[in-house]
Structure 1
Amino acid sequence: MRLNPYGEDAVNLAAALANRRPESADELADRCRAAGLTLERPVTADDLDRARAALNAWERVVDAAGEQERADLLNRMLAEAAAYPRLTSHSGTGWHLHYRDAEQPLGSVLFTLFAVGTALHLAGRGMHRLRRCEVAECDTAFADTSRTGRQRYCSQRCANRDAVRRHRARAAVT
């Protein structure tokens, strides 16, 4: 079974790029290839600028105050990014859906991937499943892909750090 490429991988790529922004078009291309994207044309400075705009919009969705604000911001991204869905088979990847026009530059592809992938993630798993780490000194954004939907930390390292902090605070009181 082939899963939708706009789902979990797309929202995780958005988080990875938002948390450590690419500094050049070459770095953006390398990180997208490493994430499994097929690049159909050279990556340019314009692609980097468009990717940065997509990440800025995506982070506003992450930081939204509530579900309605999150939906409104994401709907704006979708309106700007997505075209009608279409079946496509390119680069030997097999038939799948695209929510964008064909032959778009990477920056536009990323904008669409982030918008549609995040929308599918939130609609399918819950509107609360996009957040920032609860450790005070960590600002990392992440998509909650846990089975229970209660992920509070971006990593096991942050979860452990917070557990140690809580333990020490309890020990200091007693």
Structure 2
Amino acid sequence: MHLNPYGEDAVRLALSLVADPPSSASALAARCVSAEVAIERPATASDLSAISAYLDDWLAVVDAPSAGARAERLNALLCDTAAYPRLTDHAGSGWHIHYREPDQSLSSLLATLISVGTALHLSGRGMHRLGRCAAADCGQPFADFSRTGIQKYCSHACGNRDAVRRHRARAETVKMP
């Protein structure tokens, strides 16, 4: 069975690259390998620069003020990065679908994976399933993969810190005469 590389894993990779940007082309390649992205061409300094610029555009999708704006911004990324779907057995690992041109640079391949993965995530789970952490001191982007679809924080730690902050604020309010 060949797993679909588009979808949740691609969105998780985007979040990882935003939260902890790789400092070199080799670090970018290592991150891709650890995310099980099949690298067909060596990572270069221009890949590192290009994926950084792409992720700035992807964050505009995260920060969109409405579902319509989010779709518009993501459609622009899809237009720039995705190709018509095609069957391939490029790695001899079984036939599967690609939404990209063959022989792309690593940055182009990542942009395609992330754009299509984000589109699948939003269309399959809901257009509200991307956001910024609600903790006042954080603001990290997150993707909501939860069953309920009501995630507000990037991590349990931020959610817990915010809950403690709210609890202490209520306790102070009760103490005041």
Please, what TM-score do these two structures have when normalized by structure 1?
Answer: 0.95
Task: Give the Cα–Cα distance (whole angstroms) in 2 for the partners of residues 119 and 86 of structure 1.
Answer: 17
Partner residue of 1:125?
125
Q: CA deviation at 1:166?
A: 1.1
Partner residue of 1:28?
28
Amino acid at match of 2:65: A
After TM superposition, list the pairs within 5 Å mapping 1:1-174 onto structure 2.
Answer: 2-174=2-174
Q: Which moved more, 1:103-112 or 1:48-57?
A: 48-57
Rg comparison, structure with higher value: 2
Q: Which moved more, 1:90-99 or 1:108-117?
A: 90-99
Q: Which moved more, 1:86-95 or 1:147-156?
A: 86-95
Is 1:11–1:143's contact at 8 Å kept on the other side of the alignment?
yes
Is 2:77–2:115's contact at 8 Å kept on the other side of the alignment?
yes
Once the two structures are superposed, what CA deviation does each residue of 1:44-67 show, in whole Å capped at 9, x if it has no partner?
111112211220110010011111
Task: Give the Cα–Cα distance (whole angstroms) in 1 for the partners of residues 100 and 57 of structure 2.
Answer: 18
Q: How many residue pairs end up in the alignment?
A: 174
Task: Give the Cα–Cα distance (whole angstroms) in 1 for the partners of residues 93 and 136 of structure 2.
Answer: 42
Give runs of ≥4 in structure 1 deviating > 3 Å. none
Task: Give the Cα–Cα distance (whole angstroms) in 1 for the partners of residues 161 and 65 of structure 2.
Answer: 26
Task: Give the Cα–Cα distance (whole angstroms) in 1 for the partners of residues 170 and 28 of structure 2.
Answer: 45
Q: Which moved more, 1:61-70 or 1:18-27?
A: 18-27
Task: Give the Cα–Cα distance (whole angstroms) in 1 for the partners of residues 61 and 5 of structure 2.
Answer: 20
Amino acid at match of 1:136: A
Percent identical pairs in the alignment equals 59
Gaps of 5+ in 1: none
Q: CA deviation at 1:2?
A: 4.5
Q: C-alpha root-mean-square deviation of aligned residues, in Å? A: 1.2
Is 2:2–2:93's contact at 8 Å kept on the other side of the alignment?
no
Give the SS at the match of 1:4: coil
Q: CA deviation at 1:89?
A: 2.0
Task: Give the Cα–Cα distance (whole angstroms) in 2 for the partners of residues 93 and 173 of structure 1.
Answer: 62
Give the SS at the match of 2:149: coil
